[in-house]
Amino acid sequence: MDNAFAGKVALVTGASRGIGLAIAAELAAGGAAVCVTARKPERLAEAVAGLGDRAMGVAGAADDPDHRTEAVAAVMTRFGRVDLLVNNAGVNPQYGPLIEADLAAVRKIYEVNVTAALGWTQAAWSAWMAEHGGAVLNVASLGGLVPGEGIGAYNTSKAALIALTRQLAVELAPTVRVNAIAPAVVKTRFARALYEGRETEVAATYPLGRLGEPADPAKAAAFLLGPDAGWITGETLVLDGGVRLRGFV
């Protein structure tokens, strides 16, 4: 991806660590200027420091409309454009059977994982993409395609995000491409409850013999955002180490 993003500006939400930070780093390595967002200013500042001179951060909650407006305005002020948007911010404050779920927690999941992704896309579209084009990448999940135990609210929100990806791909074409990635378990702090203390056991269910690393979705995201994917839109790329082939989720 050497210089594939030279002259481009990317905004990556939920990017102080994990998959979001890995995607931001991959885009920066390809020549992009990058703005990253996250809720905690201190952790965000550390992430920005590792991304190079053409990086900035704006702290705030992804589902806060004022934060979205502020972040996009800050990017436009500093860099004058926003070519690439990565909707990575996500939460999962609910665990257990969906039929017993606290509806307030479910609403929060949908606000951050789905509605905020639409809000960020609307903001980037209004500020730059409507006139100049660009590319959007939504970070979904394998759980958005295959039901699983315990995280039904999260999974259904990711299914909605995949549907949103297809809808926006139609609406924003031909100048803006919209795609998604759907990772299985990736070794991040966010996902540690799914593998911590039993990584060897979980990894053994994957034909490729390991769990994902943040670099795996990051490289896939960079491909879908880059010029080599110029004839791809509305697609969701599954990154699961082959686990679906064995029927495990």
Distance CA 139, CA 184 (A): 11
Active site residue 154: yes
DSSP 96: B
DSSP 213-246: -THHHHHHHHHHHSGGGTT--S-EEEE-TTGGGG
DSSP 113: I
Distance CA 62, CA 78 (A): 20
Helix, strand, coil percentages (3-state) for the chain, rounded to 5, are 50, 15, 35
Distance CA 92, CA 110 (A): 9
- Quick one: which of 98, 100, 214 has its CA closest to 157? 98
**Among 95, 110, 154, 195, the one annotated catalytic:** 154
Containing 10, the helix (H) or strand (E) segment is strand 9-12
Question: In the beta sheet, which residues pair with residue 37?
Answer: 58
Catalytic residues: 154
